[in-house]
Structure 1
C-alpha cells in the first residue's frame, strides 16, 4: 500500500478526543436571540453571542523520522510538543460556569465543528505516534488539530425604547466582551516531502516543519530521528510567547489599586430581593462578604448604597456601588475573580473594573434591576433566600430569577 494512501486515510480519521462527549457538537438549545422579548426575571441573567471566529490548523506534536530501506514496518515514535492549546473562555484560563459551556457550544454549532466544550489541553494527549511505514524516506510524524479562537459578547435583558413613549424588555447586546480558545479532535499521521497534501491542512502544516530542502532531509541518514531546525524554532517561539504572556499577567496583577475620588449621586438605595425583607448589607468584618440581611435600626447604614461615577451607554448604566456604612465599594476580590460563585465584598474604592457594575433596568415605573460585574462579566445573585446568604457571581446569572433585585430609595 502506498504511503500517501495511508496518510490520506489517517487524515480523515480523528483520533482520541473525537469520541469524548466534551467534544461533541451540542444539541440545539432555546437560547434567546437579539431582539427577543424577556421578562423582569431575566434582568439578572445573560447568554453568549459569538462575534468572531478563526480556525487555524495547528501542529501540537511533531518528530522528523528517517526510514531506510531495511527499516520499513511498524514504528512507535515519541514526538516533541510543538504547541499546547488549552480551552478557555474569558478570564478563567479554564472553562467555568454555564456561560462558558454555552459559548463554546455556540461556536461549534456556528462552524459545524465538534469542538471541546469543557476544559482540556492538548498537553494531556500522549506524545507517541505508532505508524506502519511501507516505503523508505524522510517523514514527519505529527499530531495536530484545528485551533478555534475568537471573541464573544453577551445578550442581556434590559429596557428598550419602543418609541412613542413606551418601553419593553428585550434581549440586547450587552457592553461586555471577551475571547475564547478551543480546538477540534486531534488527528495523527505521517507525511513526506513529496506527498501532495491539501493546502492549509493539518498535514500541510506538518509537512512545513520537515525542512524539505535542508541537508538533513536529503542526505543519507541512519534510521531514526532527524533534527529539524524549523520544528525546534517553532517550539522555541511558542515557549517564548508563553513566558511573555505569564510575565504580562504577573505585572498586571502586581499593580496596586489607587484610591478613587468618587462623584456620587445624591440618592441612597437599598438593594432588595423583590417582595422580600432581605437586602444587600456590607460586611462588618474584614475578609467577609456582602450578605442578605434584614434592614433594621441597627443596620448602621451598611444596607445603604450610592451610585457613583455613573455613566450610561445604550440604556445600560455603569456605576460604582459605594456603601454608606463602611465607606467601601462593592467588588469581587481579585484573588478569586476568575472563579464561578466568587463572593462579592467591599474594598477601598479605587480605579478598578472589579468595582464597576453594569445595571440593567426594568421598564420605567419598576425599580427591578440586574447587576453585572464589568471585569468578570458575571451576574450577581444568591444561592438561596436566607438571612446571611452571600451575594455571589454567576457566569450566566441565576436562571430561576434570584439575580433580579430592586433598587429602593431610602
Structure 2
C-alpha cells in the first residue's frame, strides 16, 4: 500500500504522490482477553490442553524491497521501478516453518493483541510480494524506493492445567506456566514509499530504515546522474550496507527451536515397579503399543490376549513444580512411546514406540488432577504438543495436537494394574 499516515506528511512536503499499489492485508489478531490466564481455575477436561502466553516480543522496522533511483529535470512523473529483495520474512511458530495447528494461530493472535498490531497469523512470506513500486515523482532528486514492514519476533510459553496445593492445604486445578517454550516470527502489513536524503522522517520508522540505505553522505548521492537506477557500483554498496544492518534470511529452518534434544542412544531406564493402563475415563479402551514396528500406538480394549501391550511403566521420573516428567516404557514390546523425528513438526502425527533412548521425543510431561483422581493430561517434551485421539474407536491412533483436544478427549486415567 502507499505510505503510512505518519509518513504521508513527509512525502507531501517533499512533493511526492503515491500511486495505488496492492498489498496483502494482515490478518486481524485475536482479542487480548481470549484464553485463560495463569492462576485461573480449570477442570479435568482441560488436563489434555494448553494455551500460549507471550514471554517476550521485539518489533523492528525492516526493509524487504529497495531500489535507489535518480529523477532528473524532465523525468518527473510516474515511474514503475523494479526493486531488489533485501530481507525475506517468513511467518513461523516453534518447530515448523509453517503455521500449522491451532496453538500456532492462537500464539500469533496473542502477539498482535499484546502489541496492538495487526500481524500475519497464517503462514506467508514477504518473498511472495511483488517487487515493483509505482510512484509519482513531483521533484527531481535522489530517491530510495522501498517496501517494508514491522518484523515481530519473540518467545512464547504455554499454560497447562495441573493440580496446585493451596495455602489451606487443599488442592485445586489451575492454569500454570509450564516449562514448554518456543520462538515465533511474524510481520505487519507491508507499506511502500519513496524517500530522499533531505527528507525529515520519524526515527526508528520503516522510512528511516529506507533512508539509511541511501548512504546519504556519499559522493555518489551528491553527484548528478542521468535519470534511472543507481549505478551498479552503488547498488553493490546498497547490498553490502543492508547485509550488515539487517537480519536477512530465507525460509525458516524447521530445526531451529529453543528446545534441545540429546543425541539418540539406547538408555538404561530406571523404571518404577508399578505398571499402569493409560485409559479413556469411564470407557474400556486404553493405550496399546503395536506388535509391528511401523505401526502406531492405538486405543484398544484390554483382553487376556493383550500380552501386556496395554501396560506401561513410568521411567526416569522427575518432578518440577508439581508436574511429572517421564519416559513411557511398554511392558509388551519393550519400546518407549515417542513422536517420530520425521513427523515431529506435523500436527496430528501418530504416536509410536521405538527403542528407548535419551531423547526428548520420548519424554512426556504428565499433568495431574487433584489427589484421589487418576485423571491426567500428557504432553510431549520436544514438540510441546498434547496427546489425544480423533475419535473414540477401537484401533484409533493416539496423536499429537498442538493445543490438545478441546472436547476433553486428551484427558486420560492413569490406572495402576
Superposition TM-score, scaled by structure 2 size: 0.91
Task: Give the structure 2 partner of residue 313 of structure 1.
Answer: 320
CA deviation map 1:278-330 (0-9, x unaligned)? 00011111221100001111111111111111111100111111111111111
Separation in 1 of the partners of 2:262 and 2:243?
Answer: 29
Match of 2:3 in 1: none
Distance 1:81 1:243, change over 3 A: closer
Distance in 1 between residues matched to 2:49 and 2:24, nearest whole Å = 32
Q: Is the CA contact (8 Å cut-off) linking 2:374 and 2:413 kept in structure 1? A: yes
Superimposed CA distance per residue, residues 52-108 of structure 1 (whole angstroms, 9 cap, x where no aligned partner)? 111000000001111111211111001111111111111111211111111111111
Q: Which of residues 192, 195, 219 is equivalent to 1:215? A: 219
Aligned to 1:286: 293
Partner of 1:394: 401
Structure 1, unaligned stretches of length 5 or more? none
Give 1:273's match in structure 2, choosing from 265, 274, 280: 280
Q: Pick closer, same or farther for the CA change 1:240–1:125 going to 2, 3 Å.
A: closer
CA RMSD across the alignment: 2.7
Matches within 5 A, 1:85-234: 85-226=89-230, 227-234=234-241
Q: Provide the residue aligned with 2:55 in structure 1.
A: 51
Residue in structure 2 matched with residue 347 of structure 1 by the alignment: 354
| Cα distance in 2 between the residues matched to 1:152 and 1:379 | 16
TM-aligned CA deviation for residue 244 of structure 1? 12
Residue in 1 that maps onto 2:365: 358
**Matches of 1:8 and 1:50, distance apart in 2:** 42
Rounded to whole Å, the distance in 2 between the matches of 1:244 and 1:97 is 19
2:64 is aligned, of 39, 60, 64, to 60
2:171 and 2:254 map into 1 onto residues whose CA distance is: 48
Q: Distance in 1 between matches of 2:411 and 2:165?
A: 20
* C-alpha contact 2:90 2:252 (8 A) present in aligned 1: no
The unaligned stretches of length 5 or more in structure 2 are 1-7
| Aligned-partner Cα distance in 2 for 1:180–1:82 | 21
Work out whether residues 95 and 254 of structure 2, in 8 Å CA contact, stay in contact via their aligned partners in 1: no
Match of 2:335 among 318, 328, 341: 328
The answer (yes or no) to whether the contact 1:328–1:348 under 8 Å persists in 2 is: yes
Q: In the alignment, which residue of structure 1 is the partner of 2:24?
A: 17
Instruction: Give the 3 Å change call, closer, same or farther, for CA 409–60 of structure 1 in structure 2.
Output: same
SS, match of residue 127 in structure 2: helix
Separation of aligned partners in 2, 1:145 and 1:323: 51
Rounded Cα–Cα distance in structure 1 between residues aligned with 2:15 and 2:273: 71
1:82 to 2:86 alignment: yes
Deviation at 1:262, TM superposition (A): 1.1
Q: Which has the higher helix share?
A: 1
Q: Deviations over 1:146-193 (max 9, x none)?
A: 001111111100000013331010011111011111110000000001
Flag as ranges the 4+ runs of structure 1 deviating above 6 A: 6-11, 238-241, 252-255
Alpha-carbon spacing, 1:248–1:158, altered in 2? closer, same or farther (3 Å):
closer
Total equivalences in the alignment: 405
Counterpart in 1 of 2:5? none
Given that 1:3 and 1:134 are in contact with CA atoms closer than 8 Å, whether structure 2 keeps it comes out as no
1:365 CA displacement: 0.6
Is the partner of 1:318 in helix, strand or coil? strand
Which of 404, 410, 416 aligns to 1:409? It is 416
Please list, as runs of the form range in 1=range in 2, the aligned pairs for 1:294-313 lying within 5 A after superposition.
Answer: 294-313=301-320
